[in-house]
Each structure stands twice: as structure tokens, then as C-alpha cells.
Structure 1
Amino acid sequence: MTNSKILQHAAEVWSGRREPTSLLEAAPTEAEEVADGILMVPGFGHAFALRHAHGAVLFDTGAALFADRLHEQVTAWDAGPVTHAVYSHGHVDHVGGLGRFDAEADAQGLPRPVAVAHENVLARFERYARTQGYNTVINRRQFRIPDLVWPAEFRQPDVTFADTHTLEVGGLRLGLTHHRGETDDHVVGWLPEQRILFPGDLYLGVAPNAGNPQKAQRYPVDWAAALRWMATLDAELMLGSHGVPVVGAAHVREALENTARYLETLVEQTMACLNDGATLAQTLHRVRVPQDLAALHYLQPLYDEPEFVVRNVWRQFAGWYDGNPAHLKPATDEELATELADLSGGAQVLADRALELARAGSHRLACHLAQLAGDATPDDAAVHTARAEVYALRAAQERGTMSTGIFGWAEAESRGILAGTDAMTEIASAAQGHH
């Protein structure tokens, strides 16, 4: 639909007239019909409503925080029932929006929406419940949301499948295909008559989330193959669950093929290093994204980063040992830090040198020394003043959400020690200050 503000915004991003700023780039935020019978509801994770003769099908349902908004915007667009909902995968920003629809169906004595997902979503939900504390901590850190609490209960799928599934209802025919990529439970949606592709998180509009240092294994090899397969469909419109739509068969094919090439080159270079006997540290400093790919607006490292993808390739094919024998059975961080501080003349010497390096732009080395100083003297105010500044300088020069979150957390940790509070309190205070 040429009058769609979302599609106009997407065209500006594609042409370079507007720079993508994050994974969540999808302004404007109001729901719009972006193709005949297809409503896009932008959010932390986008949701899509597909109209059919008896109501609508949802492809992804967004996060629980935005469930009321999803219900309001879908029902305002079509008063019919939501008969089905497809989870592109089990991440919480894709599976949290069915509560109001379920409650409404119960109140009216109607069937709830039939949730459809890959069979591995069941195991994911079980794992999430078992690791609720861990996921609360790492997602607070990654997104810098102090009061985030990871859910322990999830809306279970009613229908699961292994490889392919066709959802046919009210004249709508939606093909679903399983692919490993960001997750092992990923589903791609395809409307063959309209040539509309729903890649879920397999296309993000930024560099692929194929590394993610705090999360479970990603599958860059399979992901690249999925992108190549999607490119053969010759879609006219690609509606990803993050980022902006991609319009036109040539643009869709270009985006998919170049994203595949991005992952393939990281995999190939990492495998070459593995086969050459390189250590993980050596590999991280050898692998590079080709310049023609690094320049593309839809492959910017605004969320995940190339060196994190390298680590995931290493983890998948080589295990956790990084090639440094001292890391096989290491001392504690505190023991090593104390020894090095003693050898160098004290933790303050390490902290001072860390600050000097950070202010000169040598951020990687500066963080090592600042961390050693903090581990050696966990309550020293002068050391943590320096450590906080080092990590603040490091966070300020990062572009990716994950790096910014982790380095920002480290800064807040030291500032919390100085103030006698914890890192989350410091993050909350910083957030209030920015408002």
C-alpha cells in the first residue's frame, strides 16, 4: 500500500535517506495495513495479523508488556476472532500477546486461538522456567531494564510440527517451514499467492543476532542456508519481526543473499583459523567482515557483532576450550588479579594504567587492567572510580546493544560499590537522570 507510513519509512531507510538506529527501527509505531489484508503492529517484536474469511491469523504476538495494545489494534482493524497464532520462535518478545485474545474467547464461550509453533518451542519454555533467575539477570544487563523479571509461565502452543506445516483457514494459505538460525525452533511464514515472506528473526535489518554472548547456541551455518532458501522464493514483500519491511523482489533478494554472505564469510574465516590451529583470541582478531558488506545499512552491528558470531562458530564446532592452556583449569579471577597487582606494585597502579590506556583509546587492554584492579581490591574506592570511568569510556564508543549493556553494567557495578548500592540501582538512577 503506497500510502502506508511504515512502508514509506522503510523506503527511506533502504535508500539511505534515513539511518537505521537500532534493531527496533519501525517508526511510526501505530499499526497499519501494509498489504491487502495484512496488518503490521510494530513493537519490541512486531506482530502481524492476516485476515481471512472467518477472522484473522497472527504471525508472532509480541511481548506481554504490549499485549493490550496488540489486542486493541488488531480488533480495531478486524472485529472477527483471532483463530490462530504462529510463533516464529519462542523468544519472549514473540510469544507474549495472546492473553487478551484467550480471555475474550473464554468470556464469549468461543475456542481460544490455536497457537502453532515448532516442536522445539516446548523445550525452550521448559528451559526458560528452569533458568528464570539467570535470564532475569542477563536480560536486565543486556537491555538495562532494572525491574525486568523473566517469566516462568508461557502460553503453550496447541499444534507443533517438525519440518513443514500448512495453515489453511478461511481461504488463507500460510506455509510454515522450520529452519535453525538465531534459534533451533525458528519458523518462516510464506504467503505464496501474495508473495509475502515472514522471516521472523532470520532477517533483522541489522547484523544477524548470531553471536549473543549471554544466550544459548546460535546456528550461523544453518541460518545462512535458510537465507539462501528464502531468496529463492522471489518474495515481493518481506515483513520481519524486527526492523523495517523490505519492499520489492530485487531488494528482498539482495538483503537475504548479502546477509547469507555475511554469515558465510564469518563461518569460513573462523573454520580456516580452527584448521590452522589458531587460538580463539587469535581468531577473534583475524576474522573480518568484507568492506562491501560492512558498509550496508542492513548489516550494521547495532545489536550483535561479528566477533560474537565468531565465538558461536567456535563453540559449535570446537567446544569451549579456547586454545590457551592456562584457561583449561584456571585460578579464580581474584587470585590472578591479586597476584598481578602485587607484582605490578598494587591495584592502584593497574587502575591508573587502565585509565591512561582508556583515555588514549586503547579500550580492550584498558578493560583487562581495570577488571584486574577491581578483582584484586573489590572495596577500594579509588580503584572503582577508575574502573567505572574505563567502562564508561568503553560503553560510549560501542554501537551494539549487547556490548553497551554489558560495559554499562560494569560501570554501574563500580559506581554501586562507591555508593554502597548494587548495579541495578545505579542503572535505574542513571536512567532517571537521563529523563
Structure 2
Amino acid sequence: MTDLLDLSDRIIAGEAAIEDHHPFSPPNELQEVGDGTAFIQSFANVSALRADDGLVLVDTGSPFVAPMIHGLVRGWDRAPLHTAVYTHGHIDHVFGTGPFEEEAAAAGGPAVRVVAHEDIEARFDRYCACAGYNAVINQRQFQAPGLTWPTEYRRPDVTYRDRLDLEVGGLGLELHHARGETDDATWVWVPEQRTVCTGDLIIWCTPNAGNPQKVQRYAREWAVALRAMAAHAPELLLPGHGLPVRGEDRVRAVLEDTATVLEVLHDRTLELMNEGARLDDIVHEVRAPADLLAKPYLRPIYDDPEFVVRGVWRLYGGWYDGDPSHLKPAPAGALAAELAALAGGPGALADRASRLAAAGDDASLRLAGHLAELATQAAPDDPALHRVRAEVFRTRAAAEHALMAKGVFTWAANESDAKTTDHPED
């Protein structure tokens, strides 16, 4: 079994490569990381704390591994689960409570208490209302055909607004609300252990503050929460994804470096907005500090700093991007047909897209994507054009580091592949 704390130490020190230990490809292992504290590194992590009245879990895992999480916890401690704290309502964090509740009911023991921020209720309501849409966007983001979205959730028994102090069998916990990746985020401070459970406010990569297919994120408030955690001088950090971090200096660096990335992206974007810049100008000017993105816990392997910039714009500026032609645009197909006619036909656009994609540099790939999309919008039933579009977006996916970009580009390539199935190339 991998020593997760030792591995974390070595990666941060540059003695092991983060590329060999992707935070979203976890081993599903439990390790004791402190006195009475266990950590399960799963797709979404689970932290377990011993108390005199039973166990406290911070998050409970995804629907796909709930029985495994239960088994790992039971291999460490047989005490009943007293309290489950949800750090937020994402389904990979809140679906492991069931096996513990079934166990308690079978034993005739007390019911499990679930605690969360009050906004989690509205999140669950929205998930039920938008279940079809959430299924589609997560199929696209994670390349998971057939994924369905749940509509039944274990609702909290206790909610709070700003801060809640809990005491479970002599163990004190402070629950603090923050807006970051979600509006219902909770981070947990355990003073006796000098441990902070961050939920998805730390995920061992660029903060997920700009996801292009999901609801609003909050970069500035996220940074404020991270600096509030750092002010407690934690000695152990248990994140929502990725590895635990130990040692006051290491924990402070992870928290403050992540906060700085968010602050730079937020502040520079807002500065340019105040100067009247268009979104297009801002997206292509604002950059996160390269030295921080090189840190093993801040690589842009999931979200992309460019998407964070768009998220800041969306928060303050709405959906209008400053280009007046986008305010009430022509249908995309009509514009594509007009441009194709000017260029000499959709085939001319596709040929140019192929040549640009072959060049391979970022600027050429961006242009290739536009032209391939225009070509198929102008002639949506032409299999030859879809073959070009598929190849262009496969090339774009291969060139990206961020999972979100890879997911969207791969989905586009697969769409076009489906258009060519009945029309093999001569």
C-alpha cells in the first residue's frame, strides 16, 4: 500500500512526478494520517474522525464506490457512524451515506446525522429539475456514455448559514461556509488535530473555478476561504481530491499558492472589465503566474485558467461579451453558409482547417476549430466535412491538458464520426 503522506511529501519536494499520480485516478485506499484520523483517497476523498460517540465522516463518497468506502471504513473502525458532514452537494461527495444508515437500522442503533450548508437543499432541487441536462454535460465532460443523473438525495438533518460549531463525543469541529467551486461549500477545522478538511476548495490542480458547462463559480470568495484556512496554521490538510498534505509550511504553501492564482485571475479580469475591455480581449490577455501553475498541486489538468477568466466575466458581466454582433446574432448555420460562400464553399473552409490543424501550434489549432465548425454548419449533412471536423477536434483534444477541454473536443469528434458511419471514405 502506498504511504500517501510520504508520496505527497515527495511530490511537493520534486522527488516524485505528479503525472504518475493523477488526482482523479486514485487507488481507493484508506490510510491513518493522524491520531484517530483516517483518509480514503477515492475519486472524491473521504475523511474519518474518531470520537467517543462514534465516527464522523467528512464527505461519504460517490454512488459508484459507496460499498467500497463503507468496507474501508469498517476495516479501520467498527464504531457506528454518528455524523456525516457534506462539504458540498456534488454527487461524488454525498452518496456513500446509505450503507452506514442501513447498517445502523439493522443494528437498531441511532440514526446517522447529516450536516451541510443550507444552500445544499437548493442544489439538490436543481439537480432534480435538470437531471437530463446534467446527465448530458457529465457524459461529455467525463466521456461517460450512458451516465444517468440521480434524482433522489439524502437530505441534511442539520443545516447552517455562516458557521456551525459541532461537538461529537468530545471532538470539536468548526464548519465554515464559503463560496468557491460551489455556493454551498463547507470547510471543516478540527482544532484538536490542527486539521483542515477543505472539500473541493483544494483538488490538487488549478481550481475548478471556470467549468464551461456548469453553474457559476466564485474565484474571489474561494481565495478568501483559502487564506482563512491558512490563518489557522493547519498541520494536516485533507482535500476533496488528491493527496493529503502534512506539515505547517507545506499546507500553508498549498493554500496560499492556490489563493494567489485565483486572486491574479480575478483581479486582472475585473481590472480590464473596468477599463471597458471586451471578453475576447480579456481571455487572450489574462494569465495565471506560470511559476505557480508549474507547482504539482496547481497544474491545469482539469479546469483551465482561461475558463476561470470567463467565469469571472460571467459573474460580473453577464452573458454579453462586448461584441455587438453577438447580441442578436444570425443563426449559426446562416452565418456559416454566408462565410462559406465568400470562401468558395464549405470544402474550402474544411481544407484550410486541415492545413491549420496540421501546423499543430495553439493559434493554428484554435483557428482550425472555428473553420471546421463553420464548414459543417454550412453543410451539416456532408460526411467529408465531418471527417475533417472529427480529425480537427481529435487533434485539439490531444493537444489539451485540461480534462474539460479534452471532453468537449472529443465529444465533438465523436459527433462527426457518427455522421460518417454510413458514408465510408472512398
TM-score, normalised to structure 2, is 0.96
Flag the 1:52–1:4 CA change in 2: closer, same or farther, 3 A.
Answer: farther
Query: 1:56, CA displacement in angstroms?
Result: 0.4
Query: 1:28, CA displacement in angstroms?
Result: 4.3
SS of structure 2 residue aligned to 1:166: strand
Query: Which segment is superposed worse, 4-13 or 139-148?
Result: 4-13
Query: Which segment is superposed worse, 11-20 or 48-57?
Result: 11-20
Give me the whole-angstrom Cα distance separating, in 1, the residues matched to 2:72 and 2:96.
Answer: 12
What pairs with 1:258-269 in structure 2 (closer than 5 Å)?
A: 258-269=257-268
Alignment partner, residue 145 of structure 2? 146
Give me the whole-angstrom Cα distance separating, in 2, the residues matched to 1:9 and 1:388.
Answer: 39
Query: Which segment is superposed worse, 392-401 or 98-107?
Result: 98-107
Query: 1:272, CA displacement in angstroms?
Result: 1.6
Which of 373, 376, 381 is the equivalent residue of 1:374? 376
What pairs with 1:381-400 in structure 2 (closer than 5 Å)?
A: 381-400=383-402
**C-alpha contact 1:56 1:81 (8 A) present in aligned 2:** yes
Give me the whole-angstrom Cα distance separating, in 2, the residues matched to 1:193 and 1:372.
Answer: 60
Alignment partner, residue 410 of structure 2? 408
Give me the whole-angstrom Cα distance separating, in 1, the residues matched to 2:308 and 2:397.
Answer: 20
Letter of the 1:12 counterpart: R
Query: 1:215, CA displacement in angstroms?
Result: 0.4
Give me the whole-angstrom Cα distance separating, in 2, the residues matched to 1:53 and 1:4.
Answer: 29
Alignment partner, residue 296 of structure 1? 295
**C-alpha contact 2:26 2:42 (8 A) present in aligned 1:** no
Alignment partner, residue 433 of structure 1? none
Query: 1:91, CA displacement in angstroms?
Result: 0.6
Q: Does 1:15 align with 2:13?
A: yes
User: C-alpha deviations, 1:31-75, integer Å up to 9, x for none?
Assistant: 111111111112110111111112201000110111000111111
**C-alpha contact 1:23 1:204 (8 A) present in aligned 2:** no
Letter of the 1:104 counterpart: E
Q: List alignment gaps of at least 5 residues for structure 1.
A: 422-435
User: C-alpha deviations, 1:208-247, integer Å up to 9, x for none?
Assistant: 0000000000000100111111110100010101011111
Alignment partner, residue 429 of structure 1? none
What pairs with 1:41-52 in structure 2 (closer than 5 Å)?
A: 41-52=40-51
Q: Does 1:79 align with 2:78?
A: yes
Instruction: Let me know the Cα RMSD of the aligned residues.
Output: 1.5
Q: List alignment gaps of at least 5 residues for structure 2.
A: none
SS of structure 2 residue aligned to 1:117: strand
**C-alpha contact 1:6 1:26 (8 A) present in aligned 2:** no
**C-alpha contact 2:52 2:169 (8 A) present in aligned 1:** yes
Give me the whole-angstrom Cα distance separating, in 2, the residues matched to 1:341 and 1:193.
Answer: 67
User: C-alpha deviations, 1:263-312, integer Å up to 9, x for none?
Assistant: 11111110121112111011100101123223222111010011101001
Give me the whole-angstrom Cα distance separating, in 1, the residues matched to 2:2 and 2:369.
Answer: 46
Give me the whole-angstrom Cα distance separating, in 2, the residues matched to 1:245 and 1:40.
Answer: 8
SS of structure 1 residue aligned to 2:280: helix
TM-score, normalised to structure 1, is 0.94
Letter of the 1:102 counterpart: E
Letter of the 1:239 counterpart: L
Query: 1:17, CA displacement in angstroms?
Result: 2.2
Give me the whole-angstrom Cα distance separating, in 2, the residues matched to 1:308 and 1:272.
Answer: 17
SS of structure 2 residue aligned to 1:188: strand
**C-alpha contact 2:41 2:243 (8 A) present in aligned 1:** no
Alignment partner, residue 427 of structure 1? none
Letter of the 1:5 counterpart: D
SS of structure 2 residue aligned to 1:184: coil
Q: Does 1:116 align with 2:130?
A: no
**C-alpha contact 1:55 1:78 (8 A) present in aligned 2:** no
User: C-alpha deviations, 1:149-182, integer Å up to 9, x for none?
Assistant: 1111111111000011112111111111101111
What pairs with 1:19-418 in structure 2 (closer than 5 Å)?
A: 19-21=17-19, 24=23, 28-361=27-360, 362-418=364-420
Query: Which segment is superposed worse, 270-279 or 131-140?
Result: 270-279
Give me the whole-angstrom Cα distance separating, in 2, the residues matched to 1:308 and 1:420.
Answer: 36
Give me the whole-angstrom Cα distance separating, in 1, the residues matched to 2:422 and 2:173.
Answer: 55
SS of structure 2 residue aligned to 1:79: coil
SS of structure 1 residue aligned to 2:180: coil
Q: Does 1:5 align with 2:7?
A: no
Flag the 1:44–1:27 CA change in 2: closer, same or farther, 3 A.
Answer: closer
The percentage of aligned residue pairs carrying the same residue is: 51
